[in-house]
Amino acid sequence: MVELRQYTLRPGRRDELIELFDREFVETQEATGMAVLGQFRDLDDPDRFVWLRGFPDMAARHRSLTDFYGGPVWAEHGPRANTTMADSDDVLLLRPASARGGLAVTPAARPGAGAPAPDRLVSATVWSFPPGRSEGVALIQDGLLPVLRATGPAPLAVLTTETAPNTFTRLPVRTGENVTVVLTAYPDEAARRLHVAEVAAHPLARDAVLPGIEREQTGAPHVLRLGPTARSLIR
């Protein structure tokens, strides 16, 4: 179970939130049973902060969120964090698209406070399909993923909409969604662009997979270009 959280911040306050987040909200959230998977600067918007956190299941999510947001750390530091945010409700609730689709990261690998931010780029491509239809998700899982793996770095994770009701209503999530999210890491933007071009030129993708996805999708995919913060596990 993964939340993809996209925050719109008040102008000029992103670094303030990141410093606070990486110092106060990483180990303290994980102490309640959740996993802080990745924290990012949106490279296309200086006032956007994107992060992901994971849970074993929906029941564990409810327990962990109840403990954290009702606990002393959020009581002390949450008000300051909230002052940096203009909107924090753009949240997708996701699950691995397959047994192999989850994120393989471990908190033991997390850099300590004060480490430099990695010179890396993470791409999160979000495809949207009509609610209740599985054809687009299947085309990505069975058709696009083999092409992605054959032409460049294998995706870090492939996630799709979790349809279970949000039981922690204090934190809203987007409803009525049917998305698939592919996360991929690159050394730089040039490598990402090269991979995108090679996928587009691959005969299977060009002639069958991409046209099939285009017929199924409700709009063009949304591509997030993300710069990992110093303590992000995803990088």
pLDDT in tens, 113-132: 888 999 999 999 999 999 99
What is the C-alpha to C-alpha distance for residues 13 and 114, in angstroms, rounded to an integer? Answer: 19
> Which pLDDT score is estimated for 99?
76
Instruction: Name the nearest CA neighbour of 181 among 106, 125, 120.
Output: 125
pLDDT at 45 > cutoff 80: yes
Tell me phi and psi for residue 70, to 5 degrees. -100, 5
Q: What is the pLDDT of residues 63-116, one digit of tens each?
A: 999 999 999 999 999 999 999 999 999 999 999 998 776 788 888 889 988 889
Residue 37 backbone zone (phi > 0: left; psi -120 to 50: alpha; other: beta): alpha
What is the C-alpha to C-alpha distance for residues 111 and 123, in angstroms, rounded to an integer? Answer: 21
Over range 138-149, report the average pLDDT.
Answer: 96
Pairing between β-strand 121-128 and β-strand 157-161 as defined by DSSP bridges: unpaired
DSSP for 94-130?
A: EEESSTT-S----GGGPPPTTPPPPS-EEEEEEEE--
- Residue 1 DSSP symbol: -
pTM, entire model: 0.95
Which residue stretches of the chain are H helix?
14-24, 27-30, 58-69, 72-83, 135-138, 145-151, 189-201, 203-204, 210-216
> Which pLDDT score is estimated for 107?
83
Over range 188-194, report the average pLDDT.
Answer: 98
